Amino acid sequence: MRLPCPLCGARDIREFSHMGAALARPDGGDWGPDWNDYLHNRDNPAGQTEELWYHGQGCGGWLVVTRDTVRHEVRGARLAGEGAGA
């Protein structure tokens, strides 16, 4: 599988590591259902999903990758944060 890094171009997945579904962290607050959903519960779709990948052996960017979990088709990737320099 290859991922289209917005900075480096298409690269072999051996340069990346997968973290899981791209979810928004509950801002602060005490433990509750929102935190449990963020940390544990998943839609885990058989189909298109948005997930976090780290290009650790490349540009060091965290990416949000749109990918199909059944066909493994990668529909796109974007930087997860704006990137401090922007």
Partner 1 sequence: MADLVEKSPCAGLVPVAAGALRLSEIALGPITSVAPYKGQAAAVAAMLGAQGLGWPAPGQVIAQGAARVQWFGLDLALLIGVAPGAGLADHAALADQSDGWAVLRLEGAGAGDVLARLTPLDLRESIFGVGQTARSDLGHMAAAITRVEAEAYEIMGFRSMAGTLVHEMAAAMTRVAARRTSPAKGR
Partner 2 sequence: MRIDGKGRGIDHSRVLRFSFDGQGYEGVAGDTLASALLANGVRMVARSFKYHRPRGIMTAGSEEPNALVTLGRGAAQAPNQRATVVEMHEGLEARSQNRWPSLGFDVLAVNDLMAPFIGAGFYYKTFMWPRAFWERVYEPAIRRAAGLGALSGVAAEDGHERAYAHCDLLVIGAGPAGLMAAWAAAEAGADVILAEEDLAPGGRLLAEAEEVDGIEGADWAAGLARDLAARPNVRIMTRTSVTGAYDGGTYGAFERSAPGMAARHGAPKGCFWRIVARRAVLASGALERPVAFAANDRPGVMMAGAVRAYLNRWGVAPGQSAVVFGNNDGAHRTVADLQGAGVHVAALVDARTGVECALDVPFYAGAQVTGTSGRRGLEAVMVATAKGEVRLAADCLAVSGGWNPTVHLACHMGARPVWDESLAAFLAPEGAVPGMEVAGAAAGRFSTRACLASGLEAGLRAARDLGLPVPNITAPPAQDGRYDILPLWQVPGRGRAWLDFQNDVTVKDVVQAAKENFRSVEHMKRYTTQGMAPDQGKNSNVAALAVLAAASGRTIPETGTTTFRPPYVPVPVAAMGAGARGKGFAPERLTTSHGASVVRGAPMIEAGLWYRPSYFPRAGETHWRQSCDREVAMVRQSVGVCDVSTLGKIDVQGPDAARFLDFVYTNAMSKLAEGRVRYGLMLREDGHVMDDGTCARLGAAHYLVTTTTAAAGQVMRHLDFAAQVLRSDLDARAISVTEQWAQFAVAGPNARDVLAGVLDEVPDLPFMGFGEVRIGAVAARLFRISFSGELGYEIAVPARFGAALSDLLVARAEAMGGGAYGMEALNVLRIEKGFITHAEIHGRVTAFDIGMQGVMSTKKDFVGRAAASRPGLMEEGREQLVGLKPVGEIKEILAGAHLFDEGAEAVSANDRGYVTSACYSPTLGHVIALGFLARGRARIGERVRAVDHLRGSVTICEVCAPGWVDPEGGRMRG
Partner 3 sequence: MRFSALRILKEGLTGNRGWQAHWADATPKDRYEVVIIGGGGHGLATAYYLAARHGITNVAVLEKGYLGGGNVGRNTTIVRANYGLPGNSEFYSHSLRLWEGLEQELNYNVMMSQRGVLNLCHSDGQRDAFARRGNAMRNQGDDAELLDREGVRRMVPFLDFESARFPIHGGLLQRRAGTARHDAVAWGFARGASARGVDLIQNCEVTGIDIADGRVTGVQTTRGAIRAGKVAMIVAGRSSQVAAMAGMRLPIESHVLQAFVTEGLKPCLDHVVTFGMGHFYISQSDKGGLVFGGDLDFYASYAARGNLPMAEHVMEAGLALMPMIGNAQLLRSWGGIMDMSPDGSPIIDRTHVEGLIVNCGWCYGGFKAVPGSGDVTAHLIATGTPHPVAARFRLDRFATGRGLMDEEGTGSQHNLH
Chain residues binding partner 2 by CB under 8 A are 1-2, 10, 12-13, 17, 19, 25-32, 35, 39, 52, 54, 56, 60-62, 71-74, 79-84
Q: What number of other Cβ atoms are within 10 A of residue 85's Cβ?
A: 4
Pick one of partner 3, partner 2, partner 1, none as the site partner of residue 7 (Cβ within 5 to 8 A by kind): partner 1
Cα gap 83→81, rounded to integer Å: 5
> Hey, which residues does 46 pair with through a beta bridge?
none
Q: Binding partner 1 by CB under 8 A: which of 4, 8, 64, 66?
A: 8
> Using the rule CB under 8 A, is 17 a contact of partner 1?
no
Q: Which residue has the tokens 């780290």?
A: 54
